[in-house]
A and B are shown apart, each in its own frame.
Chain A
Amino acid sequence: MRDDVRLVSDLSALATGVVFIVGLVVLGFRLAQIQLVDAAKYLEDGSRQAARRVQTAGPRGRIIARDGTVLADNRASVSIVVSPEGFQRRNWTETVSAISNAIESVASAIETPSPLSANAIARHVRQQLARPLVVWRDVGDEQIARLVERESEFPGFECVETEERTYPEGRLAAHVIGYVGRGETTSAAGEKFNFRDKEMKGRAGLEAFYDGYLRGSPGEVSVTVDARGFAVAEETVVEARRGPDLKLTIDPKIQRSVERQLRGEYAACAVMDPRDGAVLALASAPAYDLNLLVPRLTPEMQERYVGNHACRNRACFETYAPGSTFKPVTALAGLAAGRSALAEYECTGVFSLGGMRLHCARRWGHGPIDMRHALKESCNTYFCNLGSEIGTNALFAAARAFGLGEKTGLDFPQDSAGVVPSAEFKRRNYNLPWYAGDLAQASIGQGQLLVTPLQMARVAGAIGTGRLVRPHLRADAPVESSPLPFSQRQLAVVREGMRMVVDGGTGKLAGEGVAVPVAGKTGTAEVGRGATRRKNTWFIAYAPAENPTVAVAMVVENGMSGGGTTAPKVGEVLKTIFGEL
């Protein structure tokens, strides 16, 4: 009995030892599966949960004028940032208030109030914890000095070098350049980032149109975060690269001259090369200093300038009735319809059609007048009659042949089509039928016809060269042009008429003292009725008259007359370009 007891007990002891070994071996197999077979998967899971992909911004490219003048540049700027890692507390509320308190004490040390609300700090902690929080952007040397002096008192705070946009020429071509704001980096579809740094984003003008071109190529930083999301280490994966420079067709010399002529007016001017469409100057007044919009567009500046109706872009966004500057188009429409340039019309000073009476600039009439002289003297009755004879379709076909009523194709966010009206257009917008009077009005550039100065510069250039070009602002943009549907003989008539306008006609002030012969056309468009009645005065021109290299269109709101107000200003611009006699 006793031996039996011993035997069983001994076997139990041995069995226990065997169970120990088997148990440990089972654990060993399971560990082999986890640590050897599946190790790669777990290693990846581990690094994935601890890694945060951050897209960083590359510096923005510059905007450079034709002659190398830098119009938009980046300047070094210092921001004060705080890293949340040093403010870990038991819970998020305490972490946020710890950061908030630290910011307050730095604020008093550098004597600059914090621009961040408690909510903004809390939002950063909630959403961007692994990234430093930018507290003060673009701080001055004095503030930096104050912080550096007491740096040891403020752990977690740091001065970081960043870049801000700067516009060395200030107001020059302000409407063309536009301005930038700040936004998160963008990347190709499918690319997933946990955080995206802020970078400059074009909000208007060329900064907006060429935003994708100017933006640097983004970099990537990999941040290792702990379980609560605080950054522990970071490593640059891809270096951010600077964006390319944007070279413009704008000639600062001409642009400056144009802006000098527009100063103090509500006015706009477009100057382009009619051979290739290069826009040499594009100006709108009043303008503003772009540096006022850096580092950010404040609501105050928004109200005063950018969003202000008075500061809107008059050169290619605002539309005007072209007035008499449309007459060369009417003339070509007439020639294309088979009218003779030499046929004379008896101007009595008034054109009557049904109950409507249209007066000529010369109240007592020009007497018998042919096309060239009608252009030279800007005879209203001649063109009212011509337009009425050829009809709506023929007139507006010519207008469309000059690209009116459609966008010019300018590489710019604002490119108004204007309006070339029609019976259908008038019914839709005014619920009125198309009268014969509308046609007569349109023949002299009044009524519902609307154009931009840029479109009219293009019209002037097309008459001078015989080809309609697409205007462009980027220097290496492809040249696109198409021939006008008019014969050289037809064009020659209008060219001669426009040459006569400057050579002793209504626009003679545009050609005085200019080293080359100028061809042009005045325009005085009446808008409004009664108390709001005013005149927008135009001048369009191309020069030299033979083989033109420059086409100009300028409008001055509330002027006296195209010949008196605008023509001399265009003359000054042309003198800058071609020199004085």
Chain B
Amino acid sequence: MKFLEYIKRFNWITFAAMLALIALGTAAIYSAGNARSGEVFHVMWKANLGTAVFGLAVYLALAFFDYRKYITVSAIPAYALAVVLLVVVLLVGTSTYGGRRWLWFFQPSEVSKLCVISMLAWLFGPTDSPPWMRGFRGFLLAAALVGVPAVLILKEPDLGTMLTLMPATALMLFVARVWRRALVVALCAAVVGGTALLGAVYEAEKPGVPEARREAIMKYVPLKPHQVKRVRVFLFPDEDPNAAGYNLRQALISIGSGGFSGKGFRRGETNHLKYLPQSISMNDFIFCVYAEEAGFVGSVLLLALFGALLVPCAWTAYVVTDGTGRLLALGVSTLVFAHVFINIAMSVGLVPITGLPLPFISAGRTFLVTVMAGLGIVQSVSIHGRETRT
């Protein structure tokens, strides 16, 4: 294929959106970092920008080479390596904020999500794969492939990262027609289970419930105390605004006080006066930092950019003829979307608070490279996956 053809098939919209998001992210990290005391945070934006440049190289490399070739070669070794690293991190990883997630300078859990997606895409993508793979045994295989890393990530513990993997893999298996009935049942079970969980916590924690009844209900709720607390804050945001509800309250104050046009770059008071919890303002709560300074206009711009980034990926999945490519495009874009949606939704109080980075905006180098690599693969699908049609 000619280089000119590459250029023609290159999805410029998603690429431009990605670059714009990197730019906004750099600014947000600059602002969040400068609010913190500590030289290391003041220069964090440079480190992140450097990582983005590295990520861009990875992106372009993965985009221009035919994904079918490298996925075939690397799916199994990458998956195996990811599992090994997840085990290693549990043994020798560095602890931060009550979790073992770091191996020297990177987080294996972030990379592993991409490895699981490529593995599933490579296995279940080809339409000519043996029929058993669309049945119960295929489902078991997929469940095992997703389950092993998921359990290891859950051990770190990193519930948020584990949860973002679920919609992506579920969608991939659904599209690949792997025992759909089970998937539908699982989806229903998840919805019913989640609702039941919320309902149970509501019943137990609503004001005026006697202690005995509370304990009787909570006995059946499989959540850790800090998770129960987060769910409670989500259900009753105005209760206890100085302790448990502090983070959500500050998140809402910073976003809301941004108003229509924002307070201006580096002028976010909630952030700069350190009301927004400093330990997570550069990561999980960076949307608050951004929204306070950029206002509603900036927030909508950000949402539009994420739309411009992800909708073309879905379009790519629609137009490609190759099953693996379709699954890759859907898997990666759904993974990124899950991060975007859950992160912003928790910042605005639509879902309970979960520790998740916002792609491109949060400071997080492993995650940034992972997302860019994933989108590079999708770009490759856009370029190479349509070849058979012409």
A residues within 8 Å of B by Cβ? 2, 5, 8-10, 12-14, 16-17, 19-21, 23-24, 26-28, 30-32, 34-36, 38-39, 41-43, 45-47, 49-50, 88, 224-228, 232
Interface membership of chain B positions 328-352, coded 1 if the CB is closer than 8 angstroms to chain A and 0 otherwise: 0110011001001100110010100
Bound state CA distance, A228 and B291, in angstroms?
23
Q: How far is the CB of A86 from chain B (nearest CB, A)?
A: 12
Residue B121 lies at the interface, judged by CB distance under 8 Å to chain A: no
The interface residues of chain A lying within 8 Å CB-to-CB of B258 are 35, 39
Residue B60 lies at the interface, judged by CB distance under 8 Å to chain A: no
Residue B318 lies at the interface, judged by CB distance under 8 Å to chain A: yes
Most buried by A among B254, B258, B295: B258
Bound state CA distance, A17 and B316, in angstroms?
10
The interface residues of chain A lying within 8 Å CB-to-CB of B266 are none
The interface residues of chain B lying within 8 Å CB-to-CB of A45 are 249, 253, 256-257
The interface residues of chain B lying within 8 Å CB-to-CB of A232 are 273
The interface residues of chain A lying within 8 Å CB-to-CB of B323 are 9
Q: How far is the CB of B351 from chain A (nearest CB, A)?
A: 11
Contact of B275 among A12, A35, A226 (CB under 8 A): A226
Q: How far is the CB of B166 from chain A (nearest CB, A)?
A: 15
Q: A31 to B341, Cβ gap below 8 A?
A: no
Q: How far is the CB of A36 from chain B (nearest CB, A)?
A: 6
Interface membership of chain B positions 286-315, coded 1 if the CB is closer than 8 angstroms to chain A and 0 otherwise: 000001000110011001101100110011
Q: Given known contacts A12-B175, A23-B341, what 5 new A-B pairs fall within 8 Å (CB)? A: A16-B330, A17-B318, A24-B307, A35-B291, A224-B273
Closest residue of chain B to A23, judged by CB?
B341
Q: A9 to B326, Cβ gap below 8 A?
A: yes
Residue B244 lies at the interface, judged by CB distance under 8 Å to chain A: no
Q: How far is the CB of B108 from chain A (nearest CB, A)?
A: 27
Contact of A28 among B254, B300, B318, B333 (CB under 8 A): B300
Bound state CA distance, A49 and B253, in angstroms?
10
Q: A50 to B257, Cβ gap below 8 A?
A: no
Q: A27 to B177, Cβ gap below 8 A?
A: no
Q: How far is the CB of A15 from chain B (nearest CB, A)?
A: 9
Contact of A21 among B274, B296, B311, B348 (CB under 8 A): B311
Closest residue of chain A to B249, judged by CB?
A45
Residue B164 lies at the interface, judged by CB distance under 8 Å to chain A: no
Bound state CA distance, A173 and B155, in angstroms?
83
Q: B257 to A16, Cβ gap below 8 A?
A: no
The interface residues of chain A lying within 8 Å CB-to-CB of B315 are 13, 17
Most buried by A among B256, B323, B350: B256
Bound state CA distance, A10 and B254, in angstroms?
41
The interface residues of chain A lying within 8 Å CB-to-CB of B37 are 88
Contact of B255 among A17, A28, A31, A224 (CB under 8 A): A31
The interface residues of chain A lying within 8 Å CB-to-CB of B329 are 13
The interface residues of chain B lying within 8 Å CB-to-CB of A47 are 257, 269
Instruction: Name 17 A/B residue pairs within 8 A (Cβ), A-sorted.
Output: A9-B323, A13-B315, A16-B314, A26-B350, A27-B344, A27-B348, A28-B300, A30-B345, A30-B350, A31-B296, A35-B255, A35-B260, A39-B259, A42-B257, A45-B256, A46-B257, A227-B274
The interface residues of chain B lying within 8 Å CB-to-CB of A5 are 127, 177
The interface residues of chain B lying within 8 Å CB-to-CB of A2 are 127
Bound state CA distance, A28 and B171, in angstroms?
24
The interface residues of chain A lying within 8 Å CB-to-CB of B260 are 35-36, 39
Q: A43 to B256, Cβ gap below 8 A?
A: yes
The interface residues of chain A lying within 8 Å CB-to-CB of B257 are 39, 42-43, 45-47
Closest 8 CB pairs of A and B: A42-B256, A17-B314, A13-B317, A35-B296, A13-B318, A227-B274, A39-B259, A226-B273
Bound state CA distance, A30 and B254, in angstroms?
14
The interface residues of chain B lying within 8 Å CB-to-CB of A38 are 256
Contact of B314 among A14, A41, A227 (CB under 8 A): A14
Given known contacts A23-B337, A42-B253, is B303 in contact with A225 (CB within 8 Å)? no
Residue B174 lies at the interface, judged by CB distance under 8 Å to chain A: yes
Q: B300 to A46, Cβ gap below 8 A?
A: no
Closest residue of chain A to B323, judged by CB?
A9
Q: How far is the CB of B9 from chain A (nearest CB, A)?
A: 17
